[in-house]
């Protein structure tokens, strides 16, 4: 099994259930792990693996689409990755809101979604 990881990606977007969140940009952190079975490749060219550049572009595009819930972002990213890379066997993604609109709250809130494919 091989896992490609993109960690601590930061985006500034308009996601949230509150009107104010959709008007004012908030910062988000995305962590992504994509696993696939190791085949008999020699890993000399990009077609022997999954491009982390392409994975970043998938995340970037989904993050640009305003949504109410972080779960919808995770779901969309997972579906797009699986569509582009059918050999993927497992995807884990976390999306964190870094300035949650919670009074007296310091920290980050988020969602982690994990999918396994057979």
CATH number, domain with residue 72: 3.30.1130.10
- The CA-based angle 73-79-81, given to 5 degrees, is 100
Q: Is 13 helix (H, G, I), strand (E, B) or coil?
A: strand
Domain around 88 = 2-116
Residue 16 has pLDDT above 80, yes or no: no
What is the value of pTM for the model shown? 0.86
Could you give the number of structural domains in the chain? 1
Q: Is 77 helix (H, G, I), strand (E, B) or coil?
A: helix
Q: pLDDT value at position 41?
A: 66
Question: Would you give the distance in Å from CA 1 to the centre of its chain?
Answer: 20
Q: pLDDT value at position 116?
A: 95
Which has the higher per-residue pLDDT, 27 or 102? 27
Decide if 36 contacts 60 (C-beta within 8 A): no
Task: Please write the tens of the pLDDT for every residue from 60-96.
Answer: 999 999 888 899 999 999 999 999 999 999 999 999 9
């Amino acid at each position: 099994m091989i896992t490609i990881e993109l960690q601590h990606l930061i985006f500034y977007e308009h996601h949230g259930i509150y009107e104010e969140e959709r008007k004012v940009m908030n910062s988000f952190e995305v962590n992504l792990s994509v696993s696939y079975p190791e085949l008999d490749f020699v890993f000399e060219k990009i077609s022997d693996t999954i491009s982390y550049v392409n994975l970043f572009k998938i995340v970037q595009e989904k993050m640009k689409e305003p949504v109410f819930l972080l779960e919808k972002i995770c779901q969309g990213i997972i579906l797009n990755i699986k569509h582009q890379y059918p050999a993927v066997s497992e995807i884990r993604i976390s999306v964190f809101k870094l300035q949650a609109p919670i009074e007296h709250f310091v920290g980050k809130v988020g969602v982690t979604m994990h999918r396994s494919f057979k």
